[in-house]
Structure 1
Amino acid sequence: MKLYAMIFLSLFLGKSCTSQTKNDLKTAILEYTANTRGFYQKITIQNQMVAVSKDRSGTEKAVETKISDADWKELISYFETINLDSLATLKAPSEKRFHDGAAIATLEVIHKDKKYKTTSFDHGYPPEAIQKLVTKINSFAKKE
């Protein structure tokens, strides 16, 4: 009987630990910002809502839209694969932003009261580790 109890507890505790290691998008805020001298775009995702702002000063209200269930599930799957602690160390695959060849972009994630932010990268050319997530985030701005 003790053996069955040990096996059950091992499986139960093991399952609960693995589920805690996944990133939970429901409690996170994603902010993608891209800007140059003549272009500004900020996409904020929180609680299955996306807000897109093209106003650098913040005086105009962002356009908010509900994210469809299919898009939300896709976004969750991409978010769960990201190692938040490594965001700050990701290398940009190109350097067009250094000579105005591309807008300067960053991704900031606020998860469990902690901020994680990437170094700058070219808008449209994110680091490979976050490419699918960033592409999906940008797709919400194009629907507008």
Structure 2
Amino acid sequence: MKTLTYLASLVFLFTSCNCQKATTNSETTKLVDNTQTISNLNQIQEEIPVVEYAASARNLFLSVKVENKMLYVSKQRDFKDYETKITLSEKDWNDIVVLTKKIDLTKVKDWKWPTEMRYYDGAPHANVTFFSKGVAYPAAGFDHGHPPAEGEALINKILSLVPKE
């Protein structure tokens, strides 16, 4: 994502500069095509929210992030970068996209948890946050392994992709 932003900035910088170099029509066409491609990629990226899932207890920590056909996993509490990075298969990515599109992000904060085991150390505390177009949509906490019904299929799909140790 940073690369695309950087490329778009460079394209904008070079096209808006009043250089004395004359450009031909073919060079201008190539530049417009590249800008449209970058714009299309950004639009596709914004349509699919980034999903971050975290679960923690005294003896467990799990942080999972799904973004742009990648699954990032960390099992360390104070991590600076995700330890495991997995490229998702086309089928897994398409499943996640379909499940993500079924979720109404404006209602995520109202999800009801099916169990309350985390209150007495019966299950790790978990949370999921969706990031779309620069806005975070966090869910209320729930028990790890018992996600709210509205996001159960998506969360279980993501957790099924996490490597077991």
Q: TM-score interval w.r.t. the shorter chain?
A: 0.7 to 0.9
Task: Give the corresponding residue for 1:88.
Answer: 109
Change (3 A) 1:60 1:74: closer
- In 2, distance between residues paired with 1:36 and 1:43? 15
- In 2, distance between residues paired with 1:106 and 1:61? 18
Deviations 1:42-94 (A, max 9, x none): 00111100011000011564200000000011111100100101111111000
User: Which 4+ residue blocks in structure 1 deviate beyond 3 angstroms?
Assistant: none
Percent identity between matched residues is: 31
Structure number with bigger Rg: 2
Task: Give the corresponding residue for 1:104.
Answer: 125
When the two structures are superposed, what TM-score results if normalisation uses the length of structure 2?
A: 0.69
For the aligned residues, what is the CA RMSD?
1.8
1:1-144 superposed matches below 5 A? 24-25=47-48, 28-59=49-80, 61-142=82-163
Aligned length: 121
Task: Give the corresponding residue for 1:12.
Answer: none
- In 1, distance between residues paired with 2:86 and 2:103? 24
Q: Structure 1: which 5+ residue stretches go unaligned?
A: 1-19
When the two structures are superposed, what TM-score results if normalisation uses the length of structure 1?
A: 0.79
Higher-RCO chain (CA-CA 8 Å, sequence separation at least 6): 1
- In 1, distance between residues paired with 2:119 and 2:78? 23
